[in-house]
Amino acid sequence: MIIDTHTHLDNEKYYDDLDEVIKRAKKNGVEKFIIPAASPKDIKRAVEIADKYDEVYFAVGVHPIDIVRFDYHYLTDYINHPKCVAVGEIGLDYHYTKDTKDYQIELFQEQLDIAIEYNKPVIIHIREATHDSFEILDRYVKKYPNLKGVLHCYNADEELLKLKDNFYYGIGGVITFKNAKKLVNVFPKIPKDRVIIETDSPYLTPHPHRGERNEPVYTTLVRDKIAELWNVTPQEVEDITTKNAKELFKI
């Protein structure tokens, strides 16, 4: 069994064939899915999908590139929904929006506070903002040692491995890329009990399907690459990562 811990099934690229996408994944052993509804414009569809499919869950948060849409009540209106398993994806992104750095930091911390208040794990987005993200998260876990979460699409920065007591590391299609040498080299340093599988679909499609739409069935390619790096069987990878995901998200 595989859990895709980060898949944007609410994305418009799945409007025409969502049933088939889910059936195809389940046929290949992917049995649970988490949608990170990263913007208020996405949440209604994410909730509708989670309500329709027993195996689909969602998170609620505001992505750093969507902070202009931030609304405290957007989170609190949905966070107690029975299928809401986390706050996310939230974090810092200085690639496109470095000019909003101060506001990003403010809202990142506000959403961490909400997660703590409601006892939810967090799904963290970090792009070109490792040091600021680390400093904030390190400060929070020292003050709130029960805070848990996942560093989505782990960027192979070893500074973030210092958070391993509280955070899991989301591994997706990037680890299969031919130019992912840094991640491949750092990956063995992640404790096995801190690795979870994700796709970030429809983005970051694994090799050999790069350039195509990503979807949850391709978690099998991530699983196989992890099995190669760990020198274990694909079934062992499934057992370990599924246990980790269940522990983090309580599903």
Cis ω before 145 (30° cut-off from 0) = no
Residues 170-193, mean pLDDT to the nearest whole number: 97
Q: What is the pTM of this model?
A: 0.96
In the chain, % of residues over pLDDT 70: 100
Which residues on adjacent β-strands are paired with residue 196?
170
CA distance 113 to 240: 30
Helix (H) or strand (E) holding 170: strand 167-171
At 38 the pLDDT is 77
Please give the distance of CA 228 from its chain centroid, rounded to a whole number.
Answer: 22
Which two structure tokens, joined as six digits, stand for 203?
């983005």
What CA–CA distance (Å, rounded) separates 46 from 66? Answer: 16
Confidence of residue 81 (pLDDT cuts 50, 70, 90): very high
| Cα 158 from Cα 99, distance rounded (Å) | 26
In angstroms, rounded to a whole number, what is the distance separating the alpha carbons of residues 172 and 223?
9
Q: Which of 38, 30, 43, 35 shows the shortest CA–CA distance to 3?
A: 30
Q: What backbone phi and psi angles, to 5 degrees, belong to 173?
A: -60, -25
Confidence of residue 73 (pLDDT cuts 50, 70, 90): confident
